[in-house]
Structure 1
Amino acid sequence: MPDNATSIALIEAFVKADKPVGAVCHAPAALINVRGKDGEHLIEGKRVTGFTNAEEEAVGLTAVVPFLLEDRLKERGGIYSKAANWTPYVQVDGKLVTGQNPASSGPGAEELLKLLRSV
């Protein structure tokens, strides 16, 4: 997903239209190459979260995935934070909502709904 031109274009169109964008667990990988209105990486300087290196290690997939999401979000300039493994954790920065893991799906959806209702 991080290199899928269609996905990138769709997310960038949402950002340019000032619409909320949400991603949970491994889905923030789709944001890695997305550019914001200013032309910089969308996540640069923004509070974000996603599946942690420790969670990846716990499920034995560190050697399987193409990159560790926590590391890549930090490399792209995201202000990455996390909670304990498998606990719900969500970050909202402007109209960007990210969730750490599957347990964050509900809380992430609630935050996204708040943003959608405010539009």
Structure 2
Amino acid sequence: MKILMILTSQATMGDDPRPTGVWFEELATPYYAFVDAGADVDIASIAGGKIPVDPHSLAATGQNPASVERFIADQAAMTKLNGSYKIDDISPASYAAVFLPGGHGTMWDLPKSTKLADLLSSAWADGKVVAAVCHGPAGLVNVKDTQGQPLVAGRRVSGFTNSEEEAAGLTHTVPFLLETRLRELGAKYEKGPDFQSFAVQDGNLVTGQNPASSARVAELVLDTVKAAH
């Protein structure tokens, strides 16, 4: 079983110089859920190479979530993070699932990437599991299903809520509000309480609301992949 994780390459909040990137725990927790289940995990990004990590998602050594501590100490994992594949060079054909972790960086570069939209549309058409957590569903907004309709249209989807964005103080910084955009695209948007674990599955589409949801999303991805084989 091979799983592809696609991360943001965006290191700032658009024109705002404040640093962002991938939210480390949303990468690390699913990564080890997949690895510990026996999967080979590849890490790719929009631009390839070293992936920016949101500094707010990294604390002093010993003060991070267990998965983050494990990732930092894992030379092979860090090599993947610092030398990611560029998505232009990747075909989804050999992967059972494609997973998009969040972090505010995703709001800028994932929706703009036609390569990403094409890759995910292709993965979907081939019956792969497509999954995203927190702001990761920003990468789904331009993805089409086999009928040429927005992938999220008519499907149960979750993602970072407008009220969570407000709590983060970034409502006016992000290029769009993810919950609003998903609803506009016709998604059957669902959410739980702010900053609590919440994830939904609709066929091969698996999405989670926020950082607290990453473990549950990974679990649903594995269940869905296993059910398909």
TM-score bracket, shorter-length normalisation: over 0.9
**Once superposed, which parts of structure 1, at least 4 consecutive aligned residues long, lie more than 4 Å away?**
none
Q: What are the equivalent positions in structure 2 for 1:22-61 lying under 5 Å apart?
A: 22-61=131-170
TM-score between the two structures when normalised by the length of structure 1: 0.98
Partner residue in 1 for 2:126: 17
Does 2:115 align with 1:6? Answer: yes
Alpha-carbon shift at residue 3 of structure 1 (Å): 2.1
Q: 1: CA distance between counterparts of 2:126 and 2:201?
A: 18
Alpha-carbon shift at residue 10 of structure 1 (Å): 1.0
Alpha-carbon shift at residue 6 of structure 1 (Å): 1.2
Which string of whole-angstrom CA distances, capped at 9 and with x for unpartnered residues, describes residues 46-89 of structure 1? Answer: 00010000000001000110000000000000000111110000
Match of 1:69 among 174, 178, 183: 178
Determine helix, strand or coil for the equivalent of 1:2.
helix
Partner residue in 1 for 2:193: 84
Q: 1: CA distance between counterparts of 2:164 and 2:148?
A: 32
Alpha-carbon shift at residue 99 of structure 1 (Å): 0.1
Higher strand share: 2
Q: 1: CA distance between counterparts of 2:119 and 2:154?
A: 21
Q: RMSD of the alignment, in Å? A: 0.6
Which string of whole-angstrom CA distances, capped at 9 and with x for unpartnered residues, describes residues 12-67 of structure 1? Answer: 11101011000000010110010000110000000001000000000100011000
Q: 2: CA distance between counterparts of 1:39 and 1:26?
A: 23
Alpha-carbon shift at residue 108 of structure 1 (Å): 0.3
Structure number with bigger Rg: 2
Structure 2: 5+ residue stretches without partners = 1-109
Which string of whole-angstrom CA distances, capped at 9 and with x for unpartnered residues, describes residues 76-106 of structure 1? Answer: 0000011111000001001000000000000
**Equivalent residue pairs, number:** 119
Q: 2: CA distance between counterparts of 1:104 and 1:36?
A: 25
Does 2:218 align with 1:109? Answer: yes
AA partner of residue 58 (structure 1): A
Alpha-carbon shift at residue 116 of structure 1 (Å): 1.2
Q: 2: CA distance between counterparts of 1:3 and 1:41?
A: 15
Identity %, equivalent residues: 47
Higher RCO, 1 vs 2 (CA within 8 Å, ≥6 residues apart): 1
AA partner of residue 139 (structure 2): A
Q: 2: CA distance between counterparts of 1:72 and 1:6?
A: 20
Determine helix, strand or coil for the equivalent of 2:179.
helix
